[in-house]
């Protein structure tokens, strides 16, 4: 992606979200020609010259000190995710395309899979693209509509924006879309040379007008905790709290664990889902055993 364009559009979009009143600036009446703050007002709040801030907003972050980035972040009232994104864009500008990070992981170590299998609630591991890299049985059952999609890798982003079944699965339809796009935007700032990520974003922009519109907003967020509101085709509505845990030994991967309020209808739905998943597993094991027996008999005949 074009780093200068990313920087320019991000800073302009954030400047447009802060009003003079929010920034504590005096206004003198009259109609303002731009939404939010003017460049000069941001420069004043950040303690830099208008000319210098103008250069920043034109996309030039190369060589900018952390103190200036901090000052700009404060002036624009950036939250934690937005501040991190600004610093990621600055690192990419200073790298000048020379640094290439490892591509997003597609599998987990056996020890991580053991942790997943030891959970009594739905759990899975995702990479920065929103792909499901690994899951336990209950997590796979909860996400069965995604796993039923023949496209691989299993992807929250592709399912939400490209699969018609998604509209019945995600009860928080608009919020889910905003979250997915904001996480992908943050990941793109952190790793702008990831070809697979660039390809995913290009595909979604081409095939989904909704995604294209949300992408243009330049919103970013961290994906650490929250509530998932889903409608499962077998057990109905479920409301689940989740926590996302980074895996330090596996950069780019996060472990997500989902829980329901004890005694709630969502917990009852999870219990039913676990029973359904166990039945499916038994049926699959029996079918596999029968297939192996049939093949052995054919070899012997």
- pTM confidence score: 0.88
Around Cβ 130, how many Cβ atoms within 10 Å? Answer: 23
* Mean pLDDT value across residues 281-294: 74
The CATH number that domain 110-284 falls under is: 3.30.450.180
The pLDDT tens digits for 208-248 are 999 999 999 999 998 889 999 999 999 999 999 999 999 98
Nearest of 260, 261, 154, 176 to residue 223 by alpha carbon: 176
> Any idea which of 63-77, 120-134, 230-244, 276-290 has the lowest mean pLDDT?
276-290
Least confident residue range of 1-5, 68-72, 126-130, 283-287: 283-287
Per-residue pLDDT of 9-56, as tens digits, reads 999 999 999 999 899 987 666 677 777 999 999 999 999 999 999 999
The domain segmentation of the chain, as residue ranges, is 3-95, 110-284
Q: How is residue 60 written in tokens?
A: 């030039």
pLDDT at res. 140:
96
Tokens representing 283 are 């049926």
- List 246's β-bridge partners, or say none: 254
- Position 263 confidence tier, pLDDT thresholds 50, 70, 90: very high
Q: Spelled out in words, what is the top-level CATH class assigned to the domain 3-95?
A: mainly alpha
């Amino acid at each position: 992606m074009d780093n200068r364009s990313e920087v320019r559009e991000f800073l302009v979009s954030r400047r447009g979200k802060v009003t003079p009143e929010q920034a504590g600036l005096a206004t003198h009446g009259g109609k303002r020609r731009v939404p939010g703050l003017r460049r000069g007002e941001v420069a004043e709040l950040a303690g830099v010259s208008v000319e210098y801030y103008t250069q920043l907003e034109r996309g030039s972050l190369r060589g900018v000190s952390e103190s200036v980035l901090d000052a700009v972040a404060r002036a624009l009232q950036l939250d934690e995710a937005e501040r991190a994104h600004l610093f990621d864009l600055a690192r990419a500008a200073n790298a000048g395309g020379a640094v290439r990070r490892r591509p997003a992981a597609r599998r987990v170590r056996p020890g991580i899979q053991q942790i997943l299998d030891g959970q009594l609630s739905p759990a899975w591991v995702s990479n920065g693209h929103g792909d499901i890299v690994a899951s336990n049985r209950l997590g796979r059952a909860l996400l069965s509509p995604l796993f039923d999609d023949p496209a691989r890798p299993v992807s929250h982003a592709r399912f939400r924006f490209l699969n018609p079944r998604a509209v019945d699965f995600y009860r928080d339809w608009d919020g889910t879309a905003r979250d997915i796009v904001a996480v992908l935007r943050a990941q793109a700032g952190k790793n702008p040379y990831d070809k697979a990520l660039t390809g995913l974003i290009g595909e979604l922009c081409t095939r989904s007008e909704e995604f294209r519109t949300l992408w243009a907003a330049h919103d970013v967020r961290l994906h650490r905790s929250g509530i998932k509101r889903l409608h499962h085709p077998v057990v109905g509505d479920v409301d689940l709290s989740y926590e996302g845990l980074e895996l330090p030994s596996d950069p780019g991967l996060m472990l997500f664990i989902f829980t329901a309020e004890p005694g709630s209808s969502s917990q009852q739905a999870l219990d039913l889902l676990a029973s359904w998943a166990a039945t499916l597993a038994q049926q699959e094991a029996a079918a596999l055993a029968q297939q192996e027996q049939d093949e052995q008999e054919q070899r012997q005949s």
